[in-house]
């Protein structure tokens, strides 16, 4: 039997090799990759399984904040780099590592755990539920109806090209403003900015273009990273696609200006939006929204609630109501019966084992409705939430609903 344990710094190179094997990447680990990756090493937060001295499974978690509905950041245990070598699959190694990590996260006081699931069926069994979704649009520039003579914002703002160093200076503050207003967004640390702007490299790297939107006051309100392919039609007409890696903005005016900018670049005939929230403004920023076609759609951030009381009290509610929730957690970490009393003034959630439940739901279903991205009525229709009294699912729908869908722009 393989031995699951916390990985020491001395074992890190072997762990990295196993990670590359599990993700079917070239197993060679260069010095540069090793040094870059070493910066992600947090003592106690890397798990591995070892068999005869060889690392055969990997698991990494790190401290993160996740924005709840209403803007409060909640402490999260972000999980990444999960692999089991093909020689050791389906022997329970993932289950062992996950149980160990979630127990430690609960002990530390994290309210939730988060991850981006490689495949849909893996994580539901551990109490995770899909909590944010993502949509990519491809915009046919010639169909948009945007003014082809556009040469920049006409409200006193401007678009400036910048480089990676500028992004490392301007990006973090802008992103903080963005994420405090975006349920489902997660924190980025300094290393994230370094790795995502080429200052620290652990794989192949091509410098993208970066543009910022500045308001009339000079303040940076939006940032986009994009690259272009090199496609020409048979008739020697440029036919290039701008692919966006990330577009964040502190307000809708900056967001619109950046989309307009991307659609105005000479030679660019298509703009691929990158992964946006499902209710993103992009199509409606165009005079003809049908110029934006959905080319990818799916679940994105998965959440595992570790503390029901703190999770439900951390978010805001536009409606007023009381619900008794019977939360079933097969993992034994966070289940129980709770009374949620919510109103726009605040919420309280207390254990209520003696009261009769209005709704019975799994801990994963609670995660899906917690960020406002899924509807209790839909889950009740599927039999995944059980209303214990007439109208309870509709009442939950009204209470958990939020005015915008949650969105996590990051992959980790």
Ligand X SMILES: CC(=O)SCCNC(=O)CCNC(=O)[C@H](O)C(C)(C)COP(=O)(O)OP(=O)(O)OC[C@H]1O[C@@H](n2cnc3c(N)ncnc32)[C@H](O)[C@@H]1OP(=O)(O)O
Nearest residue (CB) to ligand X, 224 versus 301: 301
Q: What is the C-alpha to C-alpha distance for residues 392 and 385, in angstroms, rounded to an integer? A: 10
Nearest residue (CB) to ligand X, 77 versus 358: 77
DSSP 296-331: EEEE-EEEEES-HHHHHHHS--SS-EEEEEEEE-TT
Residue 80 touches ligand X, criterion: CB under 6 A: yes
DSSP code for 192: H
Query: How large is the angle between the packed helices 12-22 and 31-38, nearest 10 degrees?
Result: 100
Residue 325 touches ligand X, criterion: CB under 6 A: no
> Contacting ligand X (CB under 6 A), which of 17, 72, 104, 122?
122
Q: How far is the CB of 84 from ligand X (least distance, A)?
A: 4
| CA distances, 189 to each of 17, 62, 325 (Å) | 25, 11, 35
> Contacting ligand X (CB under 6 A), which of 2, 64, 83, 196?
83
Nearest residue (CB) to ligand X, 90 versus 149: 90
> Contacting ligand X (CB under 6 A), which of 1, 10, 28, 90?
90
Q: How far is the CB of 101 from ligand X (least distance, A)?
A: 11
Residue 95 touches ligand X, criterion: CB under 6 A: yes
Scanning 134-245, the segments in alpha helix (DSSP H) are: 164-180, 190-195
> Contacting ligand X (CB under 6 A), which of 94, 195, 263, 325?
94
Give the torsion through C-alpha atoms of 47, 51, 56, 60, to 10 deg: 0
Q: Beta 158-162 vs 133-140: how paired, if at all? A: unpaired
Stretch that binds ligand X, among 115-123, 217-225, 256-264, 398-406 (CB under 6 A): 115-123
Residue 93 touches ligand X, criterion: CB under 6 A: yes
Contact 79, 59 (CB under 8 A): yes
> Contacting ligand X (CB under 6 A), which of 89, 339, 378, 386?
89
Burial class (CB in 10 A: 0-12, 13-18, 19+), 327: buried
Provide the annotated binding site for acetyl-CoA. 82-84, 90-95
Stretch that binds ligand X, among 73-81, 262-270, 288-296, 375-383 (CB under 6 A): 73-81
Residue 121 touches ligand X, criterion: CB under 6 A: yes
Considering 12, 50, 123, 226, which one is annotated as catalytic? 123
Residue 76 touches ligand X, criterion: CB under 6 A: no
412 a catalytic residue: yes
Q: What is the C-alpha to C-alpha distance for residues 245 and 232, in angstroms, rounded to an integer? A: 22
Number of residues that bind ligand X (CB under 6 A): 22
DSSP code for 186: B
- Which spans of this chain sit near ligand X (rule: CB under 6 A)? 22, 79-84, 89-95, 115-119, 121-122, 125
Q: Give the active site residues.
A: 123, 412
């Amino acid at each position: 039997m393989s031995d699951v344990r916390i990985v020491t710094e001395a074992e890190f190179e072997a762990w990295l090799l196993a990670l590359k094997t599990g993700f079917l990447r070239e197993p060679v680990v260069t010095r540069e990759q090793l040094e870059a990756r070493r910066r992600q090493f947090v003592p106690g937060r890397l798990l591995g399984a070892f068999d005869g001295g060889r690392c055969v499974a990997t698991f990494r978690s790190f401290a993160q904040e996740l924005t709840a509905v209403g803007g409060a950041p909640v402490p999260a245990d972000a999980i990444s780099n999960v692999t089991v070598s093909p020689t050791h699959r389906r022997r329970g190694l993932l289950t062992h590592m996950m149980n160990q990590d979630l127990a430690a996260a609960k002990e530390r006081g994290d309210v939730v755990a988060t991850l981006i699931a490689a495949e849909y069926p893996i994580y539901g069994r551990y109490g995770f539920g899909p909590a944010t979704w993502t949509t990519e649009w491809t915009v046919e520039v010639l169909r948009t109806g945007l003014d082809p003579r556009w040469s920049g914002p006409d409200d006193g703002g401007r678009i400036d090209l910048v480089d990676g160093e500028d992004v490392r200076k301007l990006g973090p503050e802008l992103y903080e403003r963005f994420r405090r207003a975006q349920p489902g967004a997660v924190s980025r640390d300094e290393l994230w900015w370094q790795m995502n702007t080429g200052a620290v490299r652990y794989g192949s790297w091509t410098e993208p273009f970066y543009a910022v939107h500045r308001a009339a006051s000079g303040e940076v309100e939006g940032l986009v990273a994009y690259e272009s392919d090199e496609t020409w039609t048979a008739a020697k007409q440029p036919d290039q696609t701008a692919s966006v890696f990330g577009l964040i903005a502190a307000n809708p005016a900056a967001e619109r200006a950046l989309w307009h900018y991307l659609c105005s670049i000479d030679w660019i005939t298509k703009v691929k939006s990158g992964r946006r929230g499902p209710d993103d403004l992009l199509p409606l920023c165009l005079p003809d929204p049908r110029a934006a076609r959905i080319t990818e759609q799916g679940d994105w951030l998965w959440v595992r609630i570790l503390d029901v009381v703190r999770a439900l009290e951390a978010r805001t509610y536009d409606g007023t109501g009381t619900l008794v929730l019977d939360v079933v957690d097969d993992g034994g970490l966070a289940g129980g019966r709770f009374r949620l009393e919510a109103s726009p003034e605040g919420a309280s959630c207390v254990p209520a084992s003696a009261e009769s439940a209005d709704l019975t739901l799994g801990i994963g279903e609670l995660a899906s409705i917690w960020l406002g991205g899924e509807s209790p009525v839909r889950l009740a229709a599927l039999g995944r939430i059980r209303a214990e009294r007439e109208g309870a699912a509709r009442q939950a729908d009204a209470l958990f609903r939020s005015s915008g869908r949650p969105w996590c722009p990051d992959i980790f």
